[in-house]
Structure 1
Amino acid sequence: MKRRDFLRSGAMALAAPGLRDTGLYGLSQMGQMAMPPQGQPSAVPMAGPPADITLRIEPVTVELAPDRILSTIGYNGTSPGPILRMKEGKPVTVDVINRTDTPELVHWHGFLISPETDGVEEQGARPIPPQGTRRLQFTPALGGSRWYHTHAMAESDLHKGAYTGQFGFVYVDPASGDPGHYDQEHFLALRDWEPFFSSTMEDDDDEDGKPALQPEKPTRDLPGSPGLEVSSMTYSINDKSLGAGHPIRVKQGDRVLFHLLNASAIENRRIAFAGHKFRIIAMDGNPVPTPVEVDAIFLGAGERVCAVVEMNNPGVWILGATNDMIRNAGLGIIVEYANQHKKAVWAKPGPASWDYTIFGKPGAPAQKPDAVIDMVFEKMPSGMGKFNAWLINGKPYPHEREFVLEQGKRYRLIYRNRTDDAHPMHLHRHQTELVEINGKWTHGLIKDTVVVPYFGRASVDFVADQPGLTLFHCHIQNHMDYGFKALFRYA
């Protein structure tokens, strides 16, 4: 049975997440790693001046609701970890202390930094050993919403990697110092917990109905029974499920800036804010060329969206998943206007589908690529024993020397998704410009993670200006673990 052919019934109705009421934050790029003496990790404080930031990887408990407390691994005693504030162009030093019994990696998602500092073993980063310490030094090169998370493999162990609580926001304050006009700012991470294996699962990929265009749909299904994938029935925004924790409290007339992150290791998600519209101003930390109001937002795993909401509809409302089962199982938060003491209301948004191109500029980019790389995505049912195998151009990772870049050239990657899943594709250490999706051309929309529709096509351009090994992968942990990644090299 295909993922979207199965609808789970029933779920726990848990309640709404708390928020972190914080100011703008900023992050960085272009860096290098400084090792302890003799290059060996150390469990003692690093020599030299104190670090700007200390991250402790350690066991934590997460109280999703008074009657639901989870144990996992997080940062500095919490999950999500602390919101890290950086300044564009200002060097930062981070000490990472691993207080667990397994090797770990911290990836700086959306940063333009060296392969080793990026925190990915495939690019040459050394894992931080149990009880070890690593000092990182880099300079954020781009303002906007970034994030940090583990990049450890999990495979069949659902207590490792991105299935744990190791994730957190980084906001890099732009060097311009102009944060825009807003009255409140909130960082909201969508999250699923207590993962389990299943050969049938529900997703949000076609909640608006079957896509009108499916240019890459194969003429026949690949043989074999479906392998196991990962699902969940427990959700939250930040560390609270819908109905638990404090609501977001607003006043009529407020302009509220939401920084949204899909921190799921499992699925893409669609969310809406009952009685209100989102004005999308940035994606993956980068301002969009055409800010547009929408009823709902579709967020691939790893994607970020910054949106402003005009608080002009007094009441008590739910911001959460448009899928009733997922929202009732925890993926939501209550927004309460001043002097309104009512039951929280949910209203399903209209059927408009998510379209990246409305936030870009119409037409193809003026600059042509120097080279084009075709990438065909396929799934081999049960191709890795109990699990599906994920292939790029007919092969799983590593694609040894298959994708070799020449520094300074502009490349176009054409993603041909011949599977029945929408895949959030992430290219490390580079920024990509979306130029086409299912035959519709656009330009000016800069992202680091792009969701390729199921049986669909997307094209992105990028300049090869970050020498060194560069990982490319689907941001769903199970897919990445079982072959859905490739290593780009510079000539």
Structure 2
Amino acid sequence: MAVNDIPPVTRRHVLLAGGAAGLLLRPSTGRGASAPPASAARPVLLHIAPATVELAPGITRRVLAYNGQVPGPVLRLPEGQTARIRVTNGSDAPELVHWHGVDVGSIPDGAAEEGSATIAPGGTLDYSFVPTHAGTRWYHTHTMAMMDFSRALYGGQFGFLIVEPRRDPGRHDREVLLAVHHWDASLPDVPKSPEYCAMPRYRYATFNGRLMQAAEPVRVRQGERVLFRFLNASATETVSLTLPGHVFTVVALDGNPVASPAPVSVITLGVAERVDAIVHMNRPGRWVLGPTDRASLAAGLGRVIEYAGSSGSPVWTAPPASDWDYALFGGAAAPPVEDLRLDGVFPMLFERRLAPDGMEGWTINGRPFAELPPLHVRAGGRYLFRWTNLSGCAHPLHLHRHNFTVLRRGMRRIGPIEKDTVQIGRFDTIDALFTADNPGDTLFHCHHQMHMDYGFMQMIRYV
């Protein structure tokens, strides 16, 4: 097994639960392994420091990483039990760790805009919180990169965070964790037209920090039901994935169970989105689970799925079309917005503006983050976000410390989809219902690293 692959976890691995346990272990070794168990007296340790990671033999990169590995250790937190994590910063700049998708308080959330403490170089910070909703979450740095493509999410600071349910629903036999990441960013000329956006180019793309040609296959047996937990940990790139000859039955989005699990041949993830999907292994052979486009495949994104006893070259084929649609998973359409009892509506228009130096910036309702007043909410209130994208690129919209419910996309009402990050398309609109149920300063932003760094954020404040 390649040393930085996350090994599949079988049902035989027993959760290390216990009254005082903060985190738990599923036995494994090497990079991508789960963090060791913790107690109230001994928290799990994360160390931020420069590390050399091997994408493939002869291809190494020097990045900031957690515990010397990319992705960082898998953190498994029992639902409803206190987690304690001690983070030491061995880098040369202040750091933050954001617990993405976890309903923590403002201070441990890991966003400076909310008042979270930064970790000084050489310093240590203890995080403590109680995860209350099971599902696939993740953790990552929340620093700014600007034009330094070695910093923030361009580097290696990310990892899976799985909140384990109190009861196992028993829908699968094994699980496989796969995190997408892109490497070696560079920026071509910034487009002048508002219909286009500055998009970095990348040399390599990986699952779990390994190029496909250097990674061990995922070995399966016919008849197994495998739960794939997909994470898009790229700084800027949307990805679409397929597994020829198989279908994905999507059971959760951003870790939240969907109302209507549905089969698809393509899974599309905006930056920071997660998809949990079960695949019934019923087509023996060797297949490439990977991107729908040849360019990403050539960049190294993919993983061979190998049935026991199979041989020969792995098969990759592009699907004839994408069947990905949030609406497939929401069940019956939501009621009209006019029928909802709301405490307020927040129209938010997203636009691209070029600065005098030629660099692009982003505004919400005509203002960048530095000039935007916060949105005010009261605890327990229900509010509607009405998001309108007036730009020519998609945006992964993320709300800290809360979920929201997508009710409408474009002109179509859809069944309720609970998410913490949603991809809004080019010149698209989304209506999302938000319940203010976690008091404290809350950050809303585009998760595209360059857009966030250049003004695409706004605060939400409880009053």
TM-score (norm 2): 0.90
Counterparts of 1:476 and 1:51, CA distance in 2: 35
Counterparts of 2:417 and 2:370, CA distance in 1: 29
Could you tell me which residue of structure 1 aligns to residue 28 of structure 2?
A: none
Gaps of 5+ in 2: 18-38
Q: Secondary structure at the match of 1:182?
A: coil
Could you tell me which residue of structure 1 aligns to residue 137 of structure 2?
A: 146
Q: How does 1:128-277 map to 2 (within 5 A)?
A: 128-175=119-166, 177-199=167-189, 222=194, 228-277=198-247
Counterparts of 1:369 and 1:453, CA distance in 2: 26
Could you tell me which residue of structure 1 aligns to residue 361 of structure 2?
A: 389
| Aligned: 1:22 with 2:9 | yes
Return 59-68 or 94-103, whichever deviates more.
59-68
Could you tell me which residue of structure 2 aligns to residue 57 of structure 1?
A: 48
Could you tell me which residue of structure 2 aligns to residue 299 of structure 1?
A: 269
Counterparts of 2:184 and 2:317, CA distance in 1: 28
Counterparts of 1:430 and 1:54, CA distance in 2: 26
User: CA separation of 1:59/1:26 partners in 2, compared to 1, >3 Å: closer, same or farther?
Assistant: farther
| Aligned: 1:470 with 2:457 | no
Counterparts of 1:327 and 1:229, CA distance in 2: 19
Alignment root-mean-square deviation, CA:
2.2
| Aligned: 1:116 with 2:86 | no
Amino acid paired to 1:143: A
1:420 Cα deviation from its structure 2 partner = 0.7
1:383 Cα deviation from its structure 2 partner = 2.1
User: CA separation of 1:26/1:156 partners in 2, compared to 1, >3 Å: closer, same or farther?
Assistant: farther
User: CA separation of 1:151/1:341 partners in 2, compared to 1, >3 Å: closer, same or farther?
Assistant: same
Could you tell me which residue of structure 2 aligns to residue 210 of structure 1?
A: none
1:428 Cα deviation from its structure 2 partner = 0.4
1:402 Cα deviation from its structure 2 partner = 3.9
1:476 Cα deviation from its structure 2 partner = 0.5
Q: Secondary structure at the match of 2:341?
A: coil
Query: C-alpha deviations, 1:311-355, integer Å up to 9, x for none?
Result: 111110000111111111111111111111110110111313421
Counterparts of 2:329 and 2:197, CA distance in 1: 37
Query: C-alpha deviations, 1:452-491, integer Å up to 9, x for none?
Result: 0111111110111111111101101000000111111112
Could you tell me which residue of structure 2 aligns to residue 32 of structure 1?
A: none
- Report percent identity of matched pairs: 40
In 1, are the aligned partners of 2:265 and 2:323 still within 8 Å (CA)?
no
| Aligned: 1:370 with 2:357 | no
1:128 Cα deviation from its structure 2 partner = 0.1
Q: Secondary structure at the match of 1:398?
A: helix
Amino acid paired to 2:425: P
Counterparts of 1:398 and 1:459, CA distance in 2: 25
1:68 Cα deviation from its structure 2 partner = 0.9
Q: Secondary structure at the match of 2:311?
A: coil
Amino acid paired to 2:44: I
User: CA separation of 1:259/1:91 partners in 2, compared to 1, >3 Å: closer, same or farther?
Assistant: same
Q: Secondary structure at the match of 2:327?
A: helix
User: CA separation of 1:195/1:50 partners in 2, compared to 1, >3 Å: closer, same or farther?
Assistant: farther
| Aligned: 1:324 with 2:281 | no
Could you tell me which residue of structure 1 aligns to residue 33 of structure 2?
A: none
Return 148-157 or 61-70, whichever deviates more.
61-70
Amino acid paired to 1:432: F
Return 57-66 or 473-482, whichever deviates more.
57-66
In 2, are the aligned partners of 1:26 and 1:86 still within 8 Å (CA)?
no
In 2, are the aligned partners of 1:269 and 1:321 still within 8 Å (CA)?
yes
Return 359-368 or 147-156, whichever deviates more.
359-368
Could you tell me which residue of structure 1 aligns to residue 396 of structure 2?
A: 424
1:22 Cα deviation from its structure 2 partner = 3.1
Amino acid paired to 1:339: G
1:385 Cα deviation from its structure 2 partner = 2.3
